[in-house]
Copies of this chain bind each other. A is one copy, B any other.
């Protein structure tokens, strides 16, 4: 049985969606049909949202669930006329914080994903540019790198570097191990000065073959034998050089990034 969920916000809806997904994931037996309603910031939009939720209620015969981060009580009340189960994300925490901080909540809500702090923006853009220009392992200077991911082709290095840059402003380079490195079981000379910033990504051979097959069907590159050989050599090299590593097969990009930060003691918080 599927239940409809609306993430509703006067801003991007990212907070509503993030906490909503975390809560819903705790109810494994139920399937959810999820919708995002961002930028609901006036009565007209709230009425349109309420109508849409009510219509859904009528169509499915099931009460929809609304995960709400709108600040304005008037707008919440309008949406509540839809008859949905309203889960207000902020309400339970504002009271205790007002007491603790001895201050009233100010008008400026949902600013965390809104107005931009130029310095932070620049940090994430610069880190993203760094990741983009240090993505191929060819002719790059690693002196500025916060960390350097190493691994065979398609082990998840690029998306992880981009994620760390976009969200944490961490300048991460990545170096794809070549057949030559894997044959010799040696790190290239120019990586050696930065050995304490290296982190290895590995992956199961079957999964790697599947990803590579999508990329280059029927190639030697995608055969299970080639994948097995590359990964076995890469793991040998990482052990020999004492490079910390993580198998990414069953791990999300977010979790890979968090594990890497934990290993390096990086406590930077998100933008």
A267 and B36 in contact (CB under 8 A), knowing A23-B94, A93-B23? yes
Indicate how many identical chains form the complex. Answer: 2
Which chain A residues (95-111) contact chain B, with CB distance < 8 Å? Answer: 96-97, 100-101, 103, 105-106, 108-111
Whether A39 lies near B108 (C-beta < 8 A) is no
- A18 interface residue (CB < 8 Å to B): yes
Select A166's contact among B35, B115, B159, beta carbons within 8 Å.
B159
Binding site for B on A (CB under 8 A): 3, 7, 11-15, 17-19, 21-23, 25-30, 34-36, 38-39, 63, 65, 69, 71, 85, 87, 89-94, 96-97, 100-101, 103, 105-106, 108-116, 118, 121-122, 124-126, 128, 132, 156, 158-159, 162-163, 166, 207, 211, 214, 250-255, 257-259, 261-262, 267, 269-271
List 10 additional contacts besides A14-B258, A22-B110, A22-B112; criterion CB under 8 Å.
Answer: A15-B19, A25-B109, A27-B103, A30-B101, A87-B97, A115-B252, A118-B207, A125-B156, A128-B162, A132-B132
